Amino acid sequence: MNILKLKNTINVRRLSLLFITLILCFSLVACSKEKSDSIESNPSEQNQESDSADLIPQEKKLDTQVEPIDTVKEITDADMIDSIIKDQTEIGDLEKSKDNKGIHLILKQDKELVSVPMDYPFANWLSEQKKPVLFECIADYSKPAQESLPYLYGIADHYQDKLLVCVVDVTEAKDLIDMLELKYVPSFFVSKDLNVFQIATSFDLYANPSLIDNIEQVLNKE
Residue 49 maps to a domain: no
Residue 201 maps to a domain: yes
Higher pLDDT, 111 or 45: 111
* Axis crossing angle, helix 143-158 with helix 211-219, rounded to the nearest 10: 50
pLDDT at 11: 31
2, with CB counted inside 10 A (0-12, 13-18, 19+), is middle
| Residue 57 banded pLDDT, cuts 50, 70, 90 | low
Higher pLDDT, 118 or 40: 118
CB atoms within 10 A of CB 14: 8
| Residue 37 banded pLDDT, cuts 50, 70, 90 | confident
* Host domain of residue 196: 6-38+60-219
Residue 198 maps to a domain: yes
Q: Into how many domains does the chain fold?
A: 1
Residue 50 maps to a domain: no
Residue 47 maps to a domain: no
Separation between Cα atoms, residue 65 and residue 52, nearest integer Å? 25
Residues 108-151: pLDDT tens digits?
998 899 999 999 999 999 999 999 999 999 999 999 999 999 99
Separation between Cα atoms, residue 96 and residue 105, nearest integer Å? 15
CATH of the domain at 12: 3.40.30.10
Higher pLDDT, 70 or 40: 70
HEC string of the chain equals CCCCCEEEEEEEEEEEECCEEEEEEEEEECCCHHHCEECCCCHHHCCCCCHHHHHCCCCCHHHHCCCCCCCCEECCCHHHHHHHHHHHCCCCCCCCCCCCCCEEEEEEECCEEEEEECCCCHHHHHHHCCCCEEEEEECCCCHHHHHHHHHHHHHHHHCCCCCEEEEEECCCCCHHHHHCCCCEECEEEEEECCEEEEEECCCCCCCCCCHHHHHHHHHCCC
| Residue 56 banded pLDDT, cuts 50, 70, 90 | low
Separation between Cα atoms, residue 191 and residue 195, nearest integer Å? 6
Please give the model's pTM, rounded to 2 decimal places: 0.80
pLDDT at 1 over 50: no
pLDDT at 31: 44
Separation between Cα atoms, residue 28 and residue 219, nearest integer Å? 18
Contact 196, 190 (CB under 8 A): yes
Question: What number is the average pLDDT over the span 196-218?
Answer: 97
pLDDT at 36: 82
Residue 48 maps to a domain: no
| Residue 172 banded pLDDT, cuts 50, 70, 90 | very high
Candidates 189, 137, 131; CA nearest to 162 is 131
Residue 52 maps to a domain: no
How many residues are listed for the chain in this entry?
A: 222
Candidates 13, 10, 5; CA nearest to 30 is 5
